């Protein structure tokens, strides 16, 4: 059974302005580390260049500097157990598994141009932050981890709802096709990891490739579960974090602690964890253990974020998630995500209520360690509403508040979107030269985040339509 980075519903919504529906992909966007950036916010690509702005170079981020992990030793132990002894589907894993001995890595297929640099940056972080050093395999020997690039259409025939996925005990797509549906590729049958393959589309944006590398490498080597209660982690199906956080690196470091080995039971791992956590994360802040997440809430939030259902059905699911969250007294990322889902699904029919739900969600995220990128996503939604309502000063303030957090989280698609939002707000405020410079600045990030010129131009047009409507309010 593969583990996958899920694709939720297409990020499209509509607002009713002046009796006309406007499609705006930005309002529901849920979603890369180089020595220095090629393009920096505030520096126009047009300076000293007469080239077509759409030929702007792809931008890259500076080295990742994740904030300290805000979990106490007891919380880390429980998080590790819950991540390592379950699957996203809710199935339990009978034993702990990992690679034993040296771990080797190989790439196959047509890797896109940015995949190798991003992978090398990721491997550098794994080495320095998690103590994991991967190497090429010996000639004629299968790699421990194979990263296989194939066209998206081929992969979606095997996993329609996954952007990318990881499978145990195979080294190729052909082998996976042959073994699909058998115990050989079922993670619950794995006692020790010897071979896994990560399948990534070769024809997608640089950012999606990078995001797949981060999440699937983490699950290929470490925990196999996702927990909605974790704000500061890619081990969370909310998809707000797109690169491995400090918490994720710590989970991987703990996975390869010498006190652990493949085949250990849950109780055996639990007994070893206090010593491991104290050694690897001394002095971390205590945040208090979070209650378990009931399956009813998971199903409700997945229905709310999913595809294939009517908006009314998805809204009803999001409202169920809010009811469950309130009944449990949650004031964590699960409560905020429930409100976020309600807010984005109400944008068409009840923008005032949508704003209230989003504002409440942001207030929760703002009080959680490691949830600044979540708050920035909410600010994007609120800034778009402000722009479409003819309030450019508010839109600019929301963007300016969010930009540092988006850069720190290395989300180029969200960064480009926010820059375009601010540019239109500047235009509304009569600052046309500043708006033009900011649009040019956004192009390098857009090329990395969206990949396609058509997608970039569509995003720009959507935001421009929003701004035009705001001028007449």
The larger pLDDT score, comparing residue 280 to residue 149, is at 149
Minimal CA–CA distance to 441: which of 29, 46, 85? 46
pTM (predicted TM-score): 0.86
Phi/psi of residue 98, nearest 5 degrees: -160, 175
| Tens of pLDDT, residues 275-309 | 998 888 866 444 445 678 999 999 999 999 987 78
Q: Given strand 105-109, what is the order of strands in its sheet?
A: 3-6, 162-168, 196-201, 145-150, 105-109
Q: What is the pLDDT of residue 52?
A: 45
The DSSP call for residue 419 is H
For residues 367 and 333, the answer to whether their CB atoms sit within 8 Å is: no
> What separation in angstroms does the CA of 392 have from each of 275, 387, 427?
53, 6, 9
The larger pLDDT score, comparing residue 469 to residue 357, is at 357
| DSSP H helical ranges for 11-72 | none
Q: What is the pLDDT of residue 25?
A: 34
For residue 9 the two structure tokens come to 């519903």
User: What CA dihedral angle connects 305, 306, 309 and 314, to 10 degrees?
Assistant: -20
Q: What is the pLDDT of residue 75?
A: 80
Residue 471: is its pLDDT beyond 70?
Answer: no
Determine the average pLDDT of the residues in 332-338.
96
How far is residue 114 CA from its own chain's centroid? Answer: 18
Determine the average pLDDT of the residues in 335-364.
93
Determine the average pLDDT of the residues in 378-385.
94
Minimal CA–CA distance to 145: which of 120, 125, 170? 170
Residue 398: is its pLDDT beyond 70?
Answer: yes
How does strand 196-201 pair with strand 14-17?
unpaired
For residues 146 and 172, the answer to whether their CB atoms sit within 8 Å is: yes
Q: What is the pLDDT of residue 88?
A: 87
Minimal CA–CA distance to 228: which of 157, 290, 160, 156? 290
| Tens of pLDDT, residues 164-216 | 999 999 999 999 999 999 999 999 999 999 999 999 999 999 999 999 999 99
Neighbouring residues of 306: CB distance < 8 A, sequence distance ≥ 6:
8, 9, 314
Q: Read out DSSP for 309-350?
A: S-HHHHHHHHHHHHHHHHHTT--SHHHHHHHHHHHHHSTTT-
Residue 156: is its pLDDT beyond 80?
Answer: yes
Q: Which domains does the chain have, with CATH numbers?
A: 3-62+291-471 (1.25.40.10), 73-280 (3.40.390.10)
Q: What is the pLDDT of residue 460?
A: 85
Residues facing 197 on adjacent strands = 146, 167
Residue that has been written with the tokens 């993670």 in this structure: 187
Q: What is the pLDDT of residue 60?
A: 76
Determine the average pLDDT of the residues in 75-85.
92
Q: Tell me the torsion sign for CA atoms 147, 153, 154, 155.
A: positive
For residues 382 and 418, the answer to whether their CB atoms sit within 8 Å is: no
Residue 7: is its pLDDT beyond 60?
Answer: no
Neighbouring residues of 471: CB distance < 8 A, sequence distance ≥ 6:
390, 428
For residue 370 the two structure tokens come to 């490691």
| DSSP H helical ranges for 181-263 | 206-221, 246-255
> What separation in angstroms does the CA of 469 have from each of 21, 64, 383?
11, 39, 14
* CA-based end-to-end distance of the chain: 53
Q: What is the pLDDT of residue 404?
A: 94
Q: Read out DSSP for 251-263?
A: HHHHHT-TT--TT
Q: What is the pLDDT of residue 459?
A: 86
Q: What percent of the chain has pLDDT over 90?
A: 67
Q: What is the pLDDT of residue 6?
A: 52
Neighbouring residues of 388: CB distance < 8 A, sequence distance ≥ 6:
15, 17, 22, 466, 467, 469, 470, 473
| Top mean-pLDDT range of 56-70, 134-148, 439-453 | 134-148
H or E element in which residue 390 lies? none
Minimal CA–CA distance to 214: which of 409, 76, 377, 10? 409
Please report which confidence band the pLDDT of residue 14 belongs to, taking 50, 70 and 90 as the band edges. Answer: very low
Please report which confidence band the pLDDT of residue 473 belongs to, taking 50, 70 and 90 as the band edges. Answer: low
């Amino acid at each position: 059974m593969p583990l996958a980075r899920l694709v939720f519903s297409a990020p499209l919504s509509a607002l009713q302005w002046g009796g006309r529906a406007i499609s705006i992909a930005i309002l529901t966007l849920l979603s890369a580390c180089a020595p220095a950036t090629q393009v920096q916010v505030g520096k126009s690509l047009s300076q000293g260049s007469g080239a077509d702005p759409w030929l702007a170079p792809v931008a890259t981020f500076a080295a990742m500097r994740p904030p300290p992990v805000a979990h106490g030793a007891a919380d880390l132990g429980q998080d590790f157990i819950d991540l390592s002894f379950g699957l996203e589907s809710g199935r339990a894993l009978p034993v702990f598994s990992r690679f034993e001995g040296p771990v080797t890595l190989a790439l196959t297929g047509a890797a896109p141009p940015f995949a190798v640099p991003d992978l090398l940056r990721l491997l550098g972080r794994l080495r320095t932050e998690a103590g994991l050093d991967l190497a090429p395999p010996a000639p004629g020997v299968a790699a421990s981890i194979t990263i296989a690039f194939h066209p998206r259409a081929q992969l979606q025939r095997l996993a329609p709802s996954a952007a990318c996925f990881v499978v145990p005990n195979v080294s190729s797509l052909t082998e996976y096709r042959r073994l699909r549906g058998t115990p050989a590729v079922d993670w619950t049958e794995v006692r020790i990891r010897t071979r896994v393959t990560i399948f990534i589309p070769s024809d997608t944006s640089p950012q999606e490739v990078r995001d797949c590398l981060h999440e699937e490498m983490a699950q290929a080597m470490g925990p196999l579960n996702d927990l909605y209660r974790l704000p500061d982690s890619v081990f969370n199906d909310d998809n707000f974090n797109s690169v491995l956080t400090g918490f994720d690196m710590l989970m991987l470091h703990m996975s390869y602690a010498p006190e652990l080995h493949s085949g250990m039971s849950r109780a055996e791992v639990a007994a070893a964890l206090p010593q491991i956590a104290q050694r690897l994360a001394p002095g971390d802040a205590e945040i208090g253990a979070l209650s378990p997440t009931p399956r009813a809430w998971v199903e409700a939030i997945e229905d709310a974020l999913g595809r294939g259902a009517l908006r009314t059905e998805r809204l009803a699911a999001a409202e169920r998630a809010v009811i469950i969250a309130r009944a449990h007294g949650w004031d964590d990322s699960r409560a905020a995500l429930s409100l976020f889902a309600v807010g984005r699904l109400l944008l068409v029919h009840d923008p005032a209520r949508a704003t209230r739900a989003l504002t409440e969600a942001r207030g929760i995220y703002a009080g959680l360690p490691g949830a600044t990128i979540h708050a920035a996503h909410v600010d994007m939604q609120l800034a778009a509403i402000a722009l479409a309502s003819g309030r450019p000063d508010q839109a600019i303030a929301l963007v300016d508040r969010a930009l540092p957090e988006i850069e720190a989280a290395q989300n180029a698609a969200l960064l480009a979107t926010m820059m375009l939002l601010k540019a239109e707000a500047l235009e509304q405020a009569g600052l046309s030269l500043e708006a033009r410079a900011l649009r040019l600045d956004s192009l390098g990030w857009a090329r990395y985040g969206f990949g396609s010129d058509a997608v970039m131009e569509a995003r720009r047009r959507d935001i421009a339509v929003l701004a035009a409507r705001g001028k007449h309010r």
